[in-house]
A and B are shown apart, each in its own frame.
Chain A
Amino acid sequence: MKRILVAIKRVVDYNVRIRVKPDGSGVITDGVKMSINPFDEIALEEALRLKEKGIVEEVLAVSIGPADCQQQLRTALAMGADRAILVQTDAVIEPLDAARIFRALCERESPLLAILGKQAIDDDCSQTGQMLAALWGRPQATFASKVEINGEVARVTREVDAGLETIEVDLPAVITTDLRLNEPRYVKLPDIMKAKKKPLDTLEPGALGVTPVERLKPVKFEPPPVRSKGVMVKDTQELIDALRRKGLA
């Protein structure tokens, strides 16, 4: 069966203003709203559209993390994913280990595409998709804003610093999503009910031959330096005067 594997990461909701713990040991996540990483919603939407076009028959949603990730996987199933896998662990999973887990699943499930977010908005690493592509020995098309599948190849438009770049990659391949690839659909209530019956399997990283390793040790967390409040001016002339005093106009 032709399928797409989609990564679904549970992250602190983008509307939450994150705060560092007073002892510098981490950020406060207790009682904070958690959501699907916005880029992963876009990844799922793209997979669903490719399924609706008849290019694949199945969309598989995968999350790595604690048992609570089931919430985000249920949302993914309600959006339209056919089945889900939670690779359950309470360990800190660095991108290289996340990529090893995804590689093991790609080898087992042989997807036509693995679609991940270009970055997770918590750690902002922007690594996992590229690492998966390297380990799986397949092409990568990162920061995608347009995807076309033509038989054995995908033509992908990428948002790069210079503008828009188009590349062609042989399938299977890894794609990471940028914001303008699509606008994810809303979940409808009946779909939430239906999603409860869809399969959600749980397994441990060990079952995929992966033992998470700590390679980057967090030493401390700090709040960023705050900018001191500036001055208000009342009109354009005062603005220009203020700029001139700073030598900026």
Chain B
Amino acid sequence: MNRILIVAEHDGSRLNPAIAKCVTCARGIPDAEITVAVFAADPSAVAADAAAVAGVDRVVTVTHPIHANALAAAIAPQLTELAAAYTHVFGPSTTFGKDLMPRVAALLEAPQVSDLMAVESATRFRRPIYASNAITTVETVAGSKVVATIRIASFEAAGVSVAPAPIEATTVAALPATHTRFISVSSARSDRPDLQTAAKVVSGGRALASADNFGILFKLADKMGAAVGASRAAVDAGYAANDMQVGQTGKIIAPELYLAFGISGAIQHLTGIKDAKTIVAINKDPEAPIFEVADIGLVGDLFQVVPELERLLG
């Protein structure tokens, strides 16, 4: 039997949709029993969300005021203690999971499989390297626990279960570290869909030339019900917020539709959109490398095409 522990990412009130994708990944492991661990100041709402994900056998909660904000240093010793009873410990390959899981792996003296994209057996997995220009298959050595971050763009979300899993409150002896303190988080929160899970994404590059001009993409996105992304060049230039960056060092996304306006198609950018079902590129340079991966390409000026699209889609 493989006992898989998935750490819940949440904002205090709702389970992050990435976790239902980690569950799908875990279900790919033969003979799996799946537990979701919730670390929170008040875990009730998040635990209920987790219990309702199809495939979850059990939810365990650890309550502590320090978990009001997710801090790797606070969660790691406690998650490590819980992990003693499991063969696999999974987290999402989001900034939450990327921050936390290696700390846990080191405490467990276990190797970590980063960005796990496919399960071949309980010990054999596939993951991308070199900005997804190569895929490697790795095998963990016998007897070792497996820690992994799950590349969420590679898995569909598990559905809702008919009978929710049992929820158990648990206590751990390990105390959360206090040498790390949360101060604040600032996010350009909007009612637009979340970039990482949106079905449609409208994205802009350096060609937008100003933060004001990015407004035309927001208008189009709102009309389409899409999230808005950006290239690194656009973020570096201050045209778009950092949490909008798509690519090797930003977000890896897998929307149904990705519309790239004025993005050249650098390999680091393409890494982030390889799993998009349909890529549409609008670029005034017919030689732009983005056209090599685009399903639909249009050579043209984005400042003309964007307003036209917005009007014609109306």
> Which residues in A have some Cβ–Cβ distance to B below 8 Å?
12, 14, 17-20, 27, 94-96, 99, 118-119, 121-135, 138-143, 145, 155, 158-170, 173, 178-180, 214-224, 227, 229-240, 242-243, 246, 248-249
Query: Which residues of chain B from 242 to 292 have any CB-CB distance to chain A below 8 Å in the complex?
Result: 242-243, 248-249, 251, 256-257, 267-268, 274, 278-280, 282, 291-292
Alpha-carbon distance A107/B206, docked complex (angstroms): 45
Residues of A with C-beta under 8 A to B111: 94, 96, 215-216
The answer on a CB contact under 8 Å between B278 and A217 is no
Provide the B124-147 mask, 1 if CB < 8 A to any CB of A, else 0: 100011111111111111001000
* Across-interface contacts of A121 in B (CB, < 8 A): 130-131, 248
CA distance A126 to B268 in the complex (A): 16
A131 to B80 CA separation, bound complex (whole angstroms): 13
Chain B residues near A163 (CB-CB < 8 A): 185-189, 241-243
- Beta-carbon contact of A243 and B296 below 8 Å: yes
Task: Give the 8 A-B residue pairs with the shortest CB-CB distance, closest first.
Answer: A163-B187, A215-B111, A130-B102, A230-B295, A134-B106, A131-B106, A127-B102, A236-B308
Contacts of A170 in B (CB 8 A): 179-180
Query: Chain B contacts of A167 at CB under 8 A?
Result: 71, 180-183
Given A18-B130, A236-B308, A239-B296 in contact, is the A248-B106 Cβ separation under 8 Å? no
A221 touches B280 (CB 8 A): no
- List 5 A-B pairs, Cβ < 8 Å: A124-B130, A131-B102, A221-B136, A222-B135, A230-B295
CA distance A238 to B282 in the complex (A): 13
Interface of A is mostly: mixed
* Other A-B pairs beyond A118-B249, A232-B299, 11, CB < 8 Å: A124-B248, A130-B72, A140-B180, A142-B99, A163-B185, A178-B249, A217-B140, A223-B135, A231-B295, A232-B291, A243-B296
Q: Give the contacting residue for B278; candidates A160, A218, A233, A248; CB below 8 A.
A: A248
- In the assembled complex, B227 has its CB within 8 A of some CB on chain A: no
CB contacts (< 8 Å) of A234 on chain B: these are 298
By a CB distance below 8 angstroms, the chain A residues around B106 are 96, 99, 130-132, 134-135
Pair A229/B292 contact, Cβ less than 8 Å: yes
A122: nearest residue on chain B (CB-CB)? Answer: B130
Q: A161 and B181: CB pair below 8 A?
A: no
